[in-house]
Chain A
Amino acid sequence: MSELFANYLAVVAMVLFGIGFGNLLLQKNLIKKIIGLNIMDTAVYLFLASMGYISGRLAPIITDGDTDARKYVNPIPSGLVLTGIVVSVSVTALMLALTIRLYRRYRTLDIDEITLLARQEHNE
């Protein structure tokens, strides 16, 4: 139990992940679903970035020519987060573009309505 308090960042990241996933499943509005997916992405970045921290050390920018690896934080998770952010931006943009097209076609942002209308059109 004390480890959960020590790794509080990972716990918060997982709670955020669950909240985002719940948003994705339970909301009817398309924009709110997209926001839920963004929350899940943010949770993953928080988790990844917290993995690289070593207490008592500095950011991995070499100062004064001192290349001792025992003075700096692990730089690798930051690179992974960078990739993740770019992917999240691209996926969100594509989802929003699809939402705009869906809205112009069906005049509603409710996923249940859109499904019913699409099925009705398909049956005709």
Chain B
Amino acid sequence: MSRIRKNYENSFARHFLDFVKGDKPLPEEDHVAEWKSRVAEVKENERTENANYIEITEPEAYDAAHGSDMAGVRLFRKIYYILAVFMCLMIIGMLIMNVAYMPRFGATYTPMNNEVAERYLEDGSEETGVVNTVTGMILQYRAFDTFGETNVLFVAACSVMILLFHKTEPPMRADGRKRKKKSGKKAPAAETEVAPEVAAASENAPAAAETSLSCVWPQSTAVEDPGTAPDVILQAVARVVVPMIFLFGLYILLNGHLSPGGGFSGGAVIGAGLILYNAAYGFRATRKFFDEKVYDIIKVGSLCLYALIIAYYLFTGANGISSVVPLGKLGNILSSGLILPINLLVGLEVACTMYAFYALFRRGTF
């Protein structure tokens, strides 16, 4: 073991290691200190004003555990770290040992390449009418599986909404100013009058004040009003790029059965386009064409239509009737029966889910 040098406590290496471990911050520069004082001041304001709504607990118990010598906790932590590293190494070792018994990468006759894959490849294009075998497999042979996945996305978006969604306006803007009521009261008298009104309005929605926590991050106020601090570069780029993103996402959706693509990837691209538009222009601009009502209709409607299509599949399959929808010529866009509508519905669902995650994490509403 080497010796620690004398000035180790104040050396850069010690500060850096503490920063990596998360115990202490790096020696700060001026603007960081000023930002931190501003953050502390805003937190103090927030605490005094929202003292009725949220409880802020002080982490005293943690200092008690760290400061004093609770030897039991420290010993447990050391044993836990050693055991965790040992277990990870054991897992890696055992798994790698099993690789030696696996068939060679790229071999032809493996247990994975059985007659199921041959059937999908040989009869896939005739029975499903798609050129892309993977799309035909997940949307025709294993369509129920994909329906379950779409349900998983829907349930995930619903659970995130349960956790983070609220409907009332937060009492503070993103830069710490109070929000004026829209009933038209005059501005000079608003300072003392707004607080009890806001208190009365938010009493029946105690979770509303929690979104004022967005003001502790020193970001632009472009969350609601891009007019106050618009991000010029982002807006200029988004003006050019967002239509192309939507076009590209639509292309991937429509070409799911002809080339690599399909519902999930196309939906992710469209969702990313929506997120970029929102980040550049703010929530007020996005709400003009995508607010909560549109989101509800698209999400629930696409899942219900998909369920109807699956019901049709199950009905025709169980009774031995062949499907009414024609398969069309191989290689056309309007081919493959019901696979193109399913791709569109899945894509819409995925796009709505991606945007919902972003909007709910950022602000709590659409």
Interface residues of A (CB under 8 A from B): 3-4, 6-11, 14-15, 17-19, 21-22, 25-26, 28-29, 50-56, 59-63, 65, 67-69, 72, 74-79, 82-83, 85-87, 89-91, 93-94, 96-98, 100-101, 104-108, 110, 112-113, 116-117, 120-121
In the bound assembly, the distance between CA atoms of A68 and B59 in angstroms comes to 66
Q: Which chain B positions have C-beta within 8 A of A86?
A: 149, 152-153, 264
In the bound assembly, the distance between CA atoms of A11 and B97 in angstroms comes to 9
Question: Which of A11, A53, A60 has the most CB atoms of chain B within a 10 A radius of its CB?
Answer: A60
Segment from B157-165, B232-240, B312-320 that makes contact with A: B157-165
In the bound assembly, the distance between CA atoms of A120 and B55 in angstroms comes to 14
Q: Which chain A positions have C-beta within 8 A of B91?
A: 17-18, 21
Contact, CB under 8 Å: A76 / B120: yes
Known contacts A75-B134, A76-B116, A116-B61; decide if A62 and B125 are in contact (CB<8 Å). yes
Closest to A28 in B: B22
Contact, CB under 8 Å: A10 / B99: yes
Q: Which chain A positions have C-beta within 8 A of B361?
A: 96-97, 100
Q: Which chain B positions have C-beta within 8 A of A104?
A: 54, 210, 213
0 or 1 for each of B86-109: is its CB under 8 Å from A? (1 = yes): 011101100110011010111110
Known contacts A10-B105, A117-B59; decide if A62 and B85 are in contact (CB<8 Å). no
In the bound assembly, the distance between CA atoms of A67 and B360 in angstroms comes to 46
Contact, CB under 8 Å: B131 / A62: yes
Segment from B28-36, B137-145, B296-304 that makes contact with A: B137-145
Per CB-CB distance, the 8 closest pairs between chain A and chain B, nearest first, are A55-B106, A90-B156, A18-B92, A60-B133, A14-B95, A25-B84, A69-B121, A22-B88
Q: Which chain A positions have C-beta within 8 A of B99?
A: 3-4, 7, 10-11, 14
CB distance from A11 to the nearest CB of B (A): 6
Known contacts A29-B22, A82-B264, A116-B62; decide if A97 and B138 are in contact (CB<8 Å). no
Determine if B118 is an interface residue (Cβ-Cβ < 8 Å). Answer: yes
Q: Which of B218-261 contact A (CB under 8 A)?
A: 259-260
Known contacts A3-B99, A69-B118; decide if A14 and B163 are in contact (CB<8 Å). no
Tell me which of A11, A25, A91, A93 contacts B88 (CB under 8 A): A25
In the bound assembly, the distance between CA atoms of A82 and B149 in angstroms comes to 9
Contact, CB under 8 Å: A74 / B112: yes
In the bound assembly, the distance between CA atoms of A79 and B149 in angstroms comes to 12
In the bound assembly, the distance between CA atoms of A29 and B132 in angstroms comes to 43
CB distance from B214 to the nearest CB of A (A): 11
CB distance from A92 to the nearest CB of B (A): 9
In the bound assembly, the distance between CA atoms of A11 and B138 in angstroms comes to 28
Contact, CB under 8 Å: A97 / B164: yes
Contact, CB under 8 Å: A90 / B62: no
